[in-house]
Amino acid sequence: MPDTASPAAPPAATTPTTPDFSAPVAPGLVWSDALSLSMPVMDQTHVEFVDLLAEVQAAPDGRLVSTWQALIDHTDAHFAQEDRWMLATGFAPGSCHMTQHSVVLKVLREGLQAGMQGQLALIRQMAHELTLWFPHHAQTMDAGLALHLKSVGHDPFTGELSHPDALPAQAINGCGGACGDTGPGTQKEAA
């Protein structure tokens, strides 16, 4: 390491960048066009998610668990909607995007249980981590799904496909390249 810092440099452990999970904070994530996937139904759901997450981060202790519960309820429906779209357009059950939804929801529910037992800082920490996780998820897995849905002409209201000929010949286990296709059945062989 080309470290020529002076011996007087402070130790890393004292850097003041550790988030404070003991109190409400300003929203760590706000909606912007950068998060838009040009798919109105998906975007609307994502706007709602961002707003609910901001409510969690701003909630005083007395409202933290209830706002977290509201975020979980919304996220359950949000993920279920995307899972339905995937299953209707050629993704295999348990493909990597669905698996990530399932894992994230499980963790959020564990946070709820801990929060109900008074561990409010854990909810605040998870909310902070969601502000980092969501943009990445939206811009990779959800973006890949949106492109796929457009390619098959999926109508989110009726479920009809205007280009059924574009459906994949084989079930998709990965995320169409959005996640490195590391889902079951598509894992790369060890080099």
Name the residues that contact Fe ion, by CB under 5 A: 82, 142
- Of the two residues 55 and 82, which places its CB atom closer to Fe ion in the complex? 82
- What lies within 8 Å, CB to CB, of 9 at 6+ separation is none
- Of the two residues 105 and 166, which places its CB atom closer to Fe ion in the complex? 105
CB of 42 to Fe ion, least distance (A): 6
Coil, strand or helix at 28: coil
CB of 165 to Fe ion, least distance (A): 26
CB of 28 to Fe ion, least distance (A): 18
Number of neighbours of residue 14 by Cβ within 10 angstroms: 7
Q: Which residue is nearest to Fe ion (CB)?
A: 142
- Of the two residues 52 and 65, which places its CB atom closer to Fe ion in the complex? 52
CB of 104 to Fe ion, least distance (A): 9
- Of the two residues 55 and 142, which places its CB atom closer to Fe ion in the complex? 142
Contact 149, 89 (CB under 8 A): yes
Give the ranges where 27-119 is alpha helix by DSSP (H). 40-58, 61-88, 96-116
CB of 86 to Fe ion, least distance (A): 9
Q: What counts of helices (H) and strands (E) characterise the chain?
A: 5, 0
- Of the two residues 6 and 32, which places its CB atom closer to Fe ion in the complex? 32
The token pair at 71 is 């975020």
Q: In which region does residue 177 sit, left (phi positive, over 0), alpha (psi from -120 to 50) or beta (all else)?
A: left
